[in-house]
Structure 1
Amino acid sequence: MENTYRTVDASRISISELMLPSHSNFSGKIHGGYILHLLDQIAFACASKHSKMYCVTASVDTVDFLAPIEVGELVTMKASVNYVGNTSMVVGIRVEAENIQTGVTKHCNSSYFTMVAKDENGSSVKVPGLILNDKTELKRFLKAIKRNQTKQQRKQEFDHHGFSLDNYLADLEGHKVRIELPTDL
């Protein structure tokens, strides 16, 4: 698979589902957990289609709930592989809800799932490269690189052995927090 490349379009997936009362929460809106369940399913399908392998969810970098989804709306999820690494893929998903009576559509959610391809023994396997053939695909690939770099920088900054709280206490000013640390820290 090392020299194999696939287009973004080759693994692009779209699913639609009518939102039922059984999917709602106590406020009558569609439960976020149900949407996360659907997001995970479409991320799996998209990544598996690209890699031709079984895939598992490694992380969910972003889930932005932008607008509530109502019972009776038609939810459409559009997924594409935005980035590929060695054994992983970032699947970007856009969620739209359409009022089927008025035809009004709203953007409700954007999410980024990192999926890892696995073989029959559960070992991670290399995934095909990605052919980018328009500016939007290129921009999505670059944004995925930046998200990963930011995540790595944050991890390095806060997880290194020389980390000192004293260097960050001023950053907490103006936030709704009270610090009551034991004196032995």
Structure 2
Amino acid sequence: MRKQKPVKESFVSMTELVLPNDTNTLNNLMGGRMMHLMDIAAAVSAQRHSNRIVVTASVDNVSFREGIRLGSVVTLEAQVTRAFSSSMEVHIDVWAEDIPSGTKVKSNEAFFTFVAVDQSGRPIDVPDALPETPEEVRLFDGALQRRQLRLVLAGRMQPADATELKALFDL
């Protein structure tokens, strides 16, 4: 049996101020800059869980729900949802806060997958993720379906072998 580690130990909160160099011509945070920040927060979360060097393996759909304006404070919250052999799924929420107006909105959400590697760059086992709260359990329970969907879309799993997706679609 592999070692277990509570997912709360992987929690990361990162805060950034949107400056002029981070924005596009509409004074909104550039999408590429947002992805950069999300990758950093998620990587730190995966490293906390695995105590290893990690590499980004995949990024799920990232939807930009709300533009983030120049001068806004961006808070990224990341946490491992589930660990497999050497890979970990990390969930990220992004919040945009306009401090003068007192408003805060969720602008982005995504799942990233990281693989823990040894000093030679070979995948290495990670501890199992132990969810404790109802939200952690919900994200943990859905992680296998999301993983199988990623693998099917990447051509690394045949749709017929995606048992969790069959159950989802009653195939």
Relative to the length of structure 1, the TM-score reads 0.80
1:117-155 superposed Cα distances (whole Å, 9 cap, x missing partner): 011111100000111111111110122211123344554
CA RMSD across the alignment: 1.6
**Rg larger in structure:** 1
Change (3 A) 1:115 1:153: closer
Q: CA–CA distance in 1 between the matches of 2:31 and 2:146?
A: 23
Q: CA–CA distance in 2 between the matches of 1:20 and 1:89?
A: 32
Q: Which amino acid aligns with 2:17?
A: L
Q: Which residue of 1 aligns with 2:114?
A: 115
Q: Does 1:124 align with 2:109?
A: no
Q: Which residue of 1 aligns with 2:91?
A: 92
Relative to the length of structure 2, the TM-score reads 0.87
Q: CA–CA distance in 1 between the matches of 2:26 and 2:20?
A: 11
Q: Which amino acid aligns with 1:29?
A: N
Q: CA–CA distance in 1 between the matches of 2:117 and 2:148?
A: 24
Q: Which residue of 1 aligns with 2:50?
A: 51
Q: CA–CA distance in 1 between the matches of 2:59 and 2:127?
A: 21
Q: CA–CA distance in 1 between the matches of 2:63 and 2:145?
A: 18
CA contact (8 A) 2:81 2:131 kept: no
Gaps (5+ residues) in structure 1? Answer: 158-185
CA contact (8 A) 2:56 2:113 kept: yes
1:28-73 superposed Cα distances (whole Å, 9 cap, x missing partner): 2110000000011111100001100000000002212111000000
Q: CA–CA distance in 2 between the matches of 1:40 and 1:122?
A: 19
1:73-108 superposed Cα distances (whole Å, 9 cap, x missing partner): 000000000111000000000000000102200000
Q: CA–CA distance in 2 between the matches of 1:126 and 1:68?
A: 38
How many residues align structurally? 157
- Secondary structure of 2:81's counterpart equals strand
